[in-house]
C-alpha cells in the first residue's frame, strides 16, 4: 500500500473563473464535445468495503481526453489568425488541439517532447496537424511553441495556464454535478492544473475537490509548500501528461481557494490502478488518466461510510490493449 502524503490548501483571493463563465463556455462548445457518461461502480467491486464510486468517463471524449473541451473553448472564443494555432503538449493537449482545428478547418502546429507516447503522436498525425518532436520534456516543447508563435503569428493555445482552457475543462464539473448532484468528494489528477482549476472553479466548495499527483511530478504540492508555483521534478510513468515543470500561475490561486487537499501516489500505485480498472471494469486508461483512481484503489484516500465519491478518468490515449491481427 502506498503511503499517504496530503497537503492542505490555504485560502486565497477570488479567482477570475466562475460558474457563470463556465456555463457560457459550455453553451458555446456543446455542439462540438461529448457529454461523457458516469459509470457508478461499488467499492466492493475493488474489495474496498461498500459504497458508490462514480467514475466520470472523460476518456470517452473526442481525441481521447478532457483536453478537447479546452481546445474548442480557445478556438471558438478567440480570434484565430490565418496562420492558425500552435500548441505545446505532452500529447493529449496536442491531439485535442489538432482535432478541434481539423473540425473547424484551422491550421495547427503542435510541439511535443520525446517522452510523448506513440499512441498520442499517432493521434496528432491522424488529425492532420503539423507535428514536431522537440526536447525531452514539456518545457522544451513549450519553448519551441513560443518561438514558433513569435515567428509565425499563430495563436498560442496553452495546455493549462490560460483562462479559456480552464473554462473549457470546467464544463466537466457542470456535467458531473447534473449527473451526480449528491456528490461529496471528487478526486482529480493534477499536472499543470488546468483540469482541477476548471473543475474546482465550478464546484467552488459545493463538493470537496481533491488533487492527485504522481510522487515523481508533484507540481501543485511543491507550489503549496513554497506559496507560489515553483519548479518541481518532472518524471515518472505519467510524464507525458502529468509532468510539466511547474503548476500554472493562473491555476494556483484557484487551487488555494477551492481545492481541499492534494494526495501523492507512486508510479506503482498508478500501474496497479490501470490493471485493476481493466480487470474489473474493462476500462483501459493511460497512466495520467488513472492517477486519481490510484488514490482510492491503493488506500491513499479512504472514503467515509455513506460518502458519494467521484473520480475523473481523464484520458485513454494508450496502446495498452492489443487486438488480434
Residue with cell 513560443: 146
Q: pLDDT tens digits for 189-229?
A: 999 999 999 999 999 999 999 999 999 999 999 999 999 99
Q: Helices 287-297 and 267-281: crossing angle, nearest 10°? A: 90
User: How much of the chain, in percent, has pLDDT values that exceed 70?
Assistant: 94
125, 94 Cβ separation under 8 angstroms: no
Tell me the per-residue pLDDT of 245-284, one tens digit each, with 9 for 90 and over: 889 999 999 999 999 999 999 999 999 999 999 999 999 9
Q: Please name the CATH architecture into which domain 67-156 falls.
A: 3-Layer(aba) Sandwich (3.40)
Confidence band for 32, pLDDT divided at 50, 70 and 90: very high
Mean pLDDT of 42-49: 95
pTM for the whole structure: 0.92
At 9 the pLDDT is: 41
Report whether 112 contacts 131 (CB < 8 A): yes
Domain ranges of the chain: 6-65+163-313, 67-156
Helix, strand, coil share of the chain (percent; to 5): 45, 15, 40
- The CATH class given to the 6-65+163-313 domain equals alpha beta
- The answer to whether domain 6-65+163-313 and domain 67-156 are alike in fold is yes
For residue 51, is pLDDT > 80?
yes
Each residue of 79-126: pLDDT tens digit?
A: 999 999 999 998 899 999 999 999 999 999 999 999 888 888 999 999
pLDDT digits (tens, 9 = 90+) for 161-178: 999 999 999 999 999 999
For position 322, what pLDDT does the model report?
A: 66
Dist. CA 150–CA 152, nearest whole Å = 6
Nine-digit cell string for 232: 518541481
Least Cα distance to 55 among 223, 289, 300 occurs for 289
Rounded-to-integer distance, Cα 144 and Cα 78, Å? 22
Amino acid at each position: 500500500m502506498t503511503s499517504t502524503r496530503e497537503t492542505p490548501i490555504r485560502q486565497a483571493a477570488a479567482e477570475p473563473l466562475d460558474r457563470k463563465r463556465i456555463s457560457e463556455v459550455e453553451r458555446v462548445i456543446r455542439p462540438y464535445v461529448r457529454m461523457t457518461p458516469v459509470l457508478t461502480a461499488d467499492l466492493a467491486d475493488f474489495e474496498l468495503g461498500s459504497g458508490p464510486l462514480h467514475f466520470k468517463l472523460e476518456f470517452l471524449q473526442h481525441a481521447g481526453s478532457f483536453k478537447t473541451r479546452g481546445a474548442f473553448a480557445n478556438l471558438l472564443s478567440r480570434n484565430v489568425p490565418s496562420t492558425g494555432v500552435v500548441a505545446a503538449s505532452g500529447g493529449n493537449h496536442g491531439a485535442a488541439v489538432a482535432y478541434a482545428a481539423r473540425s473547424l478547418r484551422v491550421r495547427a502546429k503542435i510541439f511535443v517532447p520525446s517522452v510523448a507516447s506513440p499512441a498520442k503522436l499517432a493521434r496528432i498525425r491522424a488529425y492532420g496537424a503539423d507535428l514536431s518532436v522537440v526536447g525531452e520534456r514539456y518545457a522544451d516543447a513549450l519553448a519551441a511553441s513560443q518561438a514558433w508563435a513569435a515567428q509565425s503569428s499563430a495563436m498560442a493555445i496553452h495546455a493549462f495556464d490560460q483562462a479559456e482552457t480552464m473554462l473549457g475543462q470546467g464544463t466537466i464539473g457542470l456535467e458531473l454535478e447534473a449527473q451526480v448532484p449528491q456528490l461529496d468528494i471528487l478526486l482529480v489528477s493534477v499536472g499543470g492544473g488546468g483540469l482541477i482549476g476548471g473543475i474546482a472553479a465550478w464546484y467552488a466548495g459545493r463538493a470537496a475537490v481533491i488533487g492527485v499527483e504522481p510522487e515523481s511530478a508533484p507540481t501543485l504540492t511543491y507550489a503549496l509548500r513554497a506559496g507560489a508555483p515553483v519548479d518541481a521534478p518532472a518524471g515518472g510513468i505519467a510524464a507525458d501528461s502529468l509532468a510539466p515543470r511547474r503548476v500554472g500561475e493562473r491555476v494556483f490561486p484557484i487551487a488555494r481557494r477551492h481545492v481541499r487537499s492534494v494526495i501523492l501516489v507512486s508510479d506503482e500505485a498508478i500501474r496497479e490502478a490501470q490493471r485493476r480498472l481493466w480487470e474489473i471494469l474493462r476500462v483501459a486508461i493511460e497512466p495520467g488518466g488513472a492517477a486519481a483512481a490510484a488514490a482510492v484503489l491503493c488506500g491513499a484516500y479512504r472514503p467515509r461510510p455513506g460518502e458519494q465519491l467521484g473520480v475523473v478518468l481523464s484520458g485513454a490515449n494508450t496502446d495498452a490493449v492489443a487486438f488480434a491481427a
